[in-house]
Structure 1
């Protein structure tokens, strides 16, 4: 496989602990003690063992800088719990992090418009209607006559009939007009005065790991997309990749939606708006418009990023219905059905009802995205990740087996789930000459992380020989020597390289790793 044909080109993944929950952009370290912990039994354990001043819960992410990525691969990664910020693709450690960040997706079939949102639509229609009329015929748009799609019709018709308001899709590239709006939005709406330089804006909302040809697109793609309101039932658009949708009113840029068009839907990354238009409720309108858009272009889902049940800034997403990702199985469950399980910022793991309790972490599938119902399943979070759960003992016993094959993972302290343990560098299995990198804890992944491949599955790959799939397929680029090479025999690689490869496998799966290029 040629370098240009790689599904993903990435730097070594890192496990980043920011020191305390005060660095969290969501809770700012102000959560109640009962909401800091992902599992009830660990909450009770730490409350009994430690004074409140010592009960620190960290802000933790697992991320990788990605230089090249196919849109299809990123679509899969979204359904594994990943998100992107520019070229950084990341997820959180749902077991140890201060907040539980659940991937949420929805569509019009899962959404019942509330009185509040109906009022927003009527106000928006009135604001952009040249005659100030908030009543727009709802049967004028092809393909959407039923009452459940009324908000789609109202928005689309109002925009088609407006002479003062329009939006335009274009490549996700830097312009001074967008940057100036971003600075104004961050300062006034978020009281953010740091990180507002043009380069920061470009890295955050313009750069992406997708090939330049995808970023730029072609004139036909953009024309199709900008004509989305006029599509008939049997028509669609071909656009895949990043885009900026620019909102204009009376010739002035008033908002920018930063989006990714994916095979399975539309992913919302960020939305900025002019504070002068605060009464327009543009944030709520943008979500409704984007739900209308996926219906018109026949994409199944609207990905709204992360949902945090106890965060006021993120709770609004529940108003749009939808389903949450169970990171331990990569299956989706209806938000309303799992809400009792996540109350108090808790983690949930759904498992089919059986007499026997799980004896280890559940099998993690890397063919994600399927929807399941809660009926016939139990929340087995305590049985697996609780203080007396099966995960720790199983993972620690597997670590000794992995060590015999030159693969190092830290033992999980049995009575301290918040600790990730340390690798024993004196272990005779590891050559002194191959310790490079072990001193940097960023590359040492914990033995147990929900949403990462369980160690028992990794061990099975080694035992049944399926790990050989990466041989002569996975490529490595050494940044020090400039050497680009294929992995010929995984078993003959040094311990540090094995560790990095296993970390990538745990993150994105064996098949995807075999088609990757890792920058060392």
Structure 2
């Protein structure tokens, strides 16, 4: 199997959907007539990305909004607090029917670069579908730490109908005095001799831990009474043996995503996957995942109605998220975030049988675009250095990107691209229905004047892919 590509070259000076600059965008692209999953995996690790059959790479040092390839380590994945809230919201909606459609969290518009001159085909569906929109998350804990209350003088509810200069009666005076005494006077702040107020969640956590310790102590004492005659262990030793080290641990991603799949739930959410049209050749090797490698649709069915469709590529070293369509009537469920967490959980399941699948590719991270920085909340994540093609933890990248939109992310100034082009003659060419190396193509096509174009292509895809993929020339 070979990848057959047609290089389209560089195009610059067209509209950018991220900053709205009319002539700021620049990228190179190629049309993939067919492509192996291994070649696409290696291309992703060099900053390429596909949109349908079109594969493109931003010209990082020329484009107005540099797009850095981002991936997440699924083995060390830590679920963010905001993502947990989305999962719990979905669970409440499915199990109890809680959540009104009228309360919709805003979802920003989001479109990946779809390549040079490529117009996406219109979507035909019974519902209005849209491209994936990232969730703007509003934390429930973003409340003021202190508030000020300003009291205003208030008149009696019955009104004051006395004539001017008329004195109030003794009963009215007593009532007024009592009312004034009931108004709290400005305080001097917290009493330094008393302990500070504690948050309700800390008190709940303490009560829960106390109950857990009491339960474990009861278990330990019961075991003491059963085994005291047969052993010489002290009650303290037995109590330590029966403590559950996982008793107070947070729920795993698998537990959180499976909570919403109860058969007794009010709403039923189902998933189905099937191959979809793509330049990637489907492969099913014996040591690969059960589904095989290739491009798949993930359908989300709610009570028999399809509400979202995600497109993913299962590759030798990870799962790449392509895009998500969703029914806007269910935007209140934050389907963009929910589908991303589900895809991470799915990648984790694949890794159990295929150890090489260790990453979840999220497309591009644009530090200069607030709508695209949300991808950095999935931890731990790495960005691809645009010059050396090494992966760098995102925490080390942010200070550099704060100073400049485009940055060489690798810390070693002497590091180079290890897969850079070294031998142009080994680049594979498809000419007149025949596959041949570039030096043979030059001999056959004596008037060929495309060396600069072929060299530009090979530099971008790297020596490995240039020797494996076949570049179409007419």
Q: What TM-score do you get using the length of structure 1 for normalisation?
A: 0.55
Question: Match for 1:10 among 5, 10, 22?
Answer: 5
Match of 1:498 in 2: 451
* Contact 2:429/2:441 (<8 A) preserved: no
More helix by share: 1
* Contact 1:152/1:289 (<8 A) preserved: no
Question: Match for 1:286 among 339, 353, 359?
Answer: 339
Match of 2:309 in 1: 256
Match of 1:157 in 2: 259
Match of 1:187 in 2: none
Match of 1:59 in 2: 25
Cα separation, 2, equivalents of 1:351 and 1:275: 41
1:6-155 correspondence to structure 2 within 5 Å: 6=2, 8-17=3-12, 19-20=13-14, 23-29=15-21, 58-129=24-95, 147=249, 150-155=252-257
Deviation at 1:502, TM superposition (A): 1.2
Cα separation, 2, equivalents of 1:116 and 1:96: 35
Higher deviation after alignment, 235-244 or 497-506: 235-244
Question: Which string of whole-angstrom CA distances, capped at 9 and with x for unpartnered residues, describes residues 197-222 of structure 1?
Answer: xxxxxxxxxx42123x55xx79xx9x
Answering whether residue 399 of structure 2 is matched by residue 346 of structure 1, we say no
Answering whether residue 396 of structure 2 is matched by residue 337 of structure 1, we say yes
Deviation at 1:147, TM superposition (A): 4.2
Deviation at 1:344, TM superposition (A): 5.2
Match of 2:193 in 1: none
Q: Which runs of 5+ in 1 are unaligned?
A: 30-55, 134-143, 173-206, 222-233, 367-452
Match of 1:41 in 2: none
Question: Match for 1:297 among 335, 350, 353?
Answer: 350
Match of 2:434 in 1: 484
Cα separation, 2, equivalents of 1:237 and 1:475: 34
Q: Secondary structure at the match of 2:252?
A: helix
Cα separation, 1, equivalents of 2:274 and 2:337: 22
Deviation at 1:160, TM superposition (A): 5.2
Deviation at 1:292, TM superposition (A): 1.1
Residues 1:146 and 1:24: Cα distance change in structure 2 (over 3 Å): farther
Cα separation, 1, equivalents of 2:343 and 2:402: 28
Cα separation, 1, equivalents of 2:248 and 2:456: 49
Question: Which string of whole-angstrom CA distances, capped at 9 and with x for unpartnered residues, describes residues 209-265 of structure 1?
Answer: 123x55xx79xx9xxxxxxxxxxxx99634211000000111110000111011111
Structure 1: 4+ residue segments shifted above 6 A: none
Q: Which runs of 5+ in 2 are unaligned?
A: 100-245, 352-356
* Contact 1:328/1:364 (<8 A) preserved: yes
Cα separation, 2, equivalents of 1:73 and 1:148: 39
Residues 1:66 and 1:131: Cα distance change in structure 2 (over 3 Å): closer
Answering whether residue 273 of structure 2 is matched by residue 169 of structure 1, we say yes
Cα separation, 2, equivalents of 1:302 and 1:284: 14
Answering whether residue 208 of structure 2 is matched by residue 208 of structure 1, we say no
Question: Which string of whole-angstrom CA distances, capped at 9 and with x for unpartnered residues, describes residues 258-279 of structure 1?
Answer: 1101111111010111111111
1:389-428 correspondence to structure 2 within 5 Å: none
1:508-519 correspondence to structure 2 within 5 Å: 508-519=461-472
Residues 1:329 and 1:148: Cα distance change in structure 2 (over 3 Å): farther
Cα separation, 2, equivalents of 1:92 and 1:489: 31
Cα separation, 2, equivalents of 1:72 and 1:335: 25
Question: Match for 1:310 among 351, 368, 371?
Answer: 368
Deviation at 1:499, TM superposition (A): 2.4
Cα separation, 2, equivalents of 1:342 and 1:57: 22
Cα separation, 2, equivalents of 1:467 and 1:84: 25
Residues 1:501 and 1:149: Cα distance change in structure 2 (over 3 Å): farther
Cα separation, 2, equivalents of 1:485 and 1:334: 40
1:231-270 correspondence to structure 2 within 5 Å: 237-270=290-323
* Contact 1:72/1:262 (<8 A) preserved: yes
* Contact 2:6/2:31 (<8 A) preserved: yes
Higher deviation after alignment, 93-102 or 123-132: 123-132
Cα separation, 2, equivalents of 1:490 and 1:302: 39
Cα separation, 2, equivalents of 1:116 and 1:168: 26
Deviation at 1:92, TM superposition (A): 0.6
Question: Which string of whole-angstrom CA distances, capped at 9 and with x for unpartnered residues, describes residues 71-100 of structure 1?
Answer: 111111111111000111111111110001
If asked which structure has higher relative contact order (CA below 8 Å, sep 6+), I would say 2
Residues 1:236 and 1:517: Cα distance change in structure 2 (over 3 Å): closer
**Aligned length, in residue pairs:** 316
Q: Secondary structure at the match of 1:304?
A: strand
Q: Secondary structure at the match of 2:42?
A: helix
Answering whether residue 426 of structure 2 is matched by residue 469 of structure 1, we say yes
Which structure has the bigger radius of gyration? 2
* Contact 1:247/1:256 (<8 A) preserved: yes
Deviation at 1:108, TM superposition (A): 4.1
